């Protein structure tokens, strides 16, 4: 019997990090020593008080279905936080949907608004799931190259020229995976001017919002007056509170979208795990010192790693201003990104990602995750330098 998958499954992409991790693990099984700089998750444990809150919630019986869009107390805590972080007052909790991760918050927003043929503008290089979902939904991908000289922000003229009557969605991600760039406030304001009042939904993926190294927190387009009806904030606890495995994220949707989002949740995961949400509440309401210490450690690693990389002949490493990635330009090595990533894994024992895992404009770059110790990051640069020297 020839079994056929639906054609749409062929349009789904994957994440390169998981592929490389698998290859690296296979090398480790052969006895090779690998420094893992491929995976995008904090290498810190979930703060203790959050774990305790999760355990207590299990003991207290938070083991059943909960409200579709999430527990009111967690949604209220998120609404309160939006006042502090975005200056948004009185966000109705009906607009907030708790999800098992930031990914479903994104997926459901795209499912809710995109029709076949709609154009979606997104950053390239960028989180590979954007392009994957655009294709899956038969929308039209419009990748906009990021400009290294602008700290990996858009060329605003190019962005403006890419907006057409078919544009239905614009995806922003700041701080940014994979470049570590943060979109400056003046660019956000200019982008808001380009889209405000048009039939364009902006997805603001803010999953790295609390991990930044400048004086000011990243500015969100959701904070620009007049944008509430056309902006979805995608956020969660995976990176900010080292909770990737708990699967806890959320979307802040325009009021007109929430019913559709709620139906998508009913039709897929029903709700998000109840005890996980109680842990999320503790994450928001409890002490933040471990999270701040994590960011301080990422800053140290960023400083050491980007300084060391910049000394390696052939590499140019813009200093990341947020998230926990470094994205050096490797063009002067004379090697392609895929080739160099392969060589580094198999010859140097350094696992990283080719910039092309994030789109065609990622060619000429590598992504290194800073989710490893300072010693290992420094050792990785030594290995990279030695390998490049050998030619
Ligand atoms: C830009 C970006 N958005 C969303 C996500 C997904 O986050 P979550 O694990 O909460 O689904 C990631 C994870 O790597 C990411 O890098």
Question: What is the position in ligand 1's atom list of the atom closest to the CA of 106?
Answer: 4
Q: Residue 247: what pLDDT?
A: 98
- Lining ligand 1 with CB less than 6 A are 40, 101-103, 127, 173, 177, 205, 207, 236, 238, 244, 249
Residue nearest to atom 13 of ligand 1 (CA): 40
- The yes or no reply on domain 8-45+289-390 and CATH 3.90.1150.10 is yes
Task: Cis check for the bond before 178: say yes or no (omega within 30 of 0).
Answer: yes
Q: Residue 311: what pLDDT?
A: 93
Q: Residue 350: what pLDDT?
A: 98
Mutate to test the pocket of ligand 1, among 17, 41, 100, 103 (most ligand atoms within 8 A of CB): 103
Q: Residue 2: what pLDDT?
A: 87
Q: Residue 243: what pLDDT?
A: 98
State both tokens at 370.
């800073």
Instruction: Indicate the CATH number for domain 49-285.
Output: 3.40.640.10
Residues 238 and 371: their CA atoms lie apart, in Å, by 13
Q: Residue 390: what pLDDT?
A: 83
Domain boundaries, the chain: 8-45+289-390, 49-285
Residues 162 and 160: their CA atoms lie apart, in Å, by 5
Task: Cis check for the bond before 175: say yes or no (omega within 30 of 0).
Answer: yes
Mutate to test the pocket of ligand 1, among 46, 239, 359 (most ligand atoms within 8 A of CB): 239
Ligand 1 geometric centre to CA of 238 (Å): 7
Residue nearest to atom 16 of ligand 1 (CA): 177
Ligand 1 geometric centre to CA of 178 (Å): 11
Distances (CA, A) of 33 to 39, 166, 181, 261, 347: 16, 50, 31, 45, 11
The model carries a pTM of 0.97
| Half-sphere exposure in the Cβ direction for 134 (13 Å, CA) | 24
Q: Residue 16: what pLDDT?
A: 83
Ligand 1 geometric centre to CA of 27 (Å): 27
Residues 30 and 24: their CA atoms lie apart, in Å, by 10
Question: What is the position in ligand 1's atom list of the atom closest to the CA of 40?
Answer: 14
DSSP codes joined into one string, 335-364: --HHHHHHHIIIII-EE-EEGGGG-GGGTT
Mutate to test the pocket of ligand 1, among 179, 207, 280, 325 (most ligand atoms within 8 A of CB): 207
Instruction: Show the beta-strand stretches assigned E in the chain.
Output: 35-36, 96-99, 119-124, 140-147, 153-154, 167-173, 201-205, 231-236, 249-252, 325-326, 350-351, 353-354, 366-369
Directed axis angle between helix 48-59 and helix 274-285, to 10°? 140
Mutate to test the pocket of ligand 1, among 238, 277, 322 (most ligand atoms within 8 A of CB): 238
Contact partners, residue 128, CB within 8 Å, separation at least 6: 13, 14, 15, 16, 357, 358, 359
- Residues for the chain: how many in total? 391
Ligand 1 geometric centre to CA of 269 (Å): 18
Report the chain (391 residues): mean pLDDT per 10 consecutive residues.
93 91 96 96 97 98 98 98 95 98 98 98 98 98 97 97 98 98 98 97 98 97 96 98 98 98 98 98 97 98 96 94 98 96 97 97 98 96 94 70
Phi-psi region of 267 (alpha: psi -120 to 50; beta: other; left: phi over 0): alpha
Ligand 1 geometric centre to CA of 55 (Å): 25
Phi-psi region of 104 (alpha: psi -120 to 50; beta: other; left: phi over 0): alpha
Task: Cis check for the bond before 45: say yes or no (omega within 30 of 0).
Answer: no
Contact partners, residue 66, CB within 8 Å, separation at least 6: 271, 272, 274, 277
Q: Residue 17: what pLDDT?
A: 87
Q: Are 100 and 273 in contact (CB under 8 A)?
A: yes
């Amino acid at each position: 019997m020839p079994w056929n998958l639906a054609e749409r499954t062929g349009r789904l992409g994957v994440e390169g990090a998981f592929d490389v991790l698998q290859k690296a693990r296979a090398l480790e099984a052969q006895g090779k020593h690998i420094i893992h700089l491929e995976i995008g998750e904090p290498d810190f444990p979930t703060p203790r008080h959050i774990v305790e809150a999760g355990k207590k919630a299990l003991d207290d019986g938070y083991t059943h279905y909960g409200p579709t869009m999430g527990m009111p107390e967690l949604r209220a805590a998120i609404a309160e936080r939006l006042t502090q972080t975005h200056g948004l007052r009185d966000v109705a909790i009906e607009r907030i949907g708790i999800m098992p991760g930031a990914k479903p918050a994104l997926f459901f927003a795209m499912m809710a608004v995109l029709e076949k043929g709609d154009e979606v503008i997104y950053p390239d290089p960028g989180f590979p799931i954007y392009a994957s979902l655009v294709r899956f939904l038969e929308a039209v991908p419009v990748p906009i190259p990021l400009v290294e000289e602008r700290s990996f922000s858009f060329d605003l003229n190019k962005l403006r020229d890419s907006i057409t009557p078919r544009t239905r969605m614009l995806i922003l991600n700041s701080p940014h995976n994979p470049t570590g760039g943060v979109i400056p406030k003046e660019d956000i304001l200019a982008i808001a001017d380009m889209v405000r009042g048009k039939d364009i939904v902006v997805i603001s993926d803010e999953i790295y919002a609390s991990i930044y190294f400048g004086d000011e927190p990243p500015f969100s387009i959701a904070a620009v007056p007049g944008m509430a009806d056309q902006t979805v904030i995608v956020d969660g606890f995976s990176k900010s509170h080292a909770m990737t495995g708990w699967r806890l994220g959320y979307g802040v949707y325009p009021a007109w979208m929430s019913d559709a989002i709620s139906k998508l949740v009913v039709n897929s995961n029903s709700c998000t795990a109840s005890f996980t949400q109680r842990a999320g509440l503790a994450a928001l309401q409890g002490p933040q010192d471990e999270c701040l210490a994590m960011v301080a450690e990422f800053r140290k690693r960023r400083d050491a790693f980007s300084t060391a990389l910049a000394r390696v002949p052939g590499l140019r490493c813009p200093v990341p201003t947020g998230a926990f990635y470094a994205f050096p330009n490797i063009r002067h090595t004379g090697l392609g990104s895929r080739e160099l990533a392969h060589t580094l894994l198999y010859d140097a024992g350094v696992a990283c990602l080719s910039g092309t895992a994030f789109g065609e404009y990622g060619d000429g770059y590598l992504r290194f995750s800073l989710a490893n110790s300072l010693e290992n990051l420094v050792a990785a640069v030594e290995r990279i330098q030695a390998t490049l020297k050998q030619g």
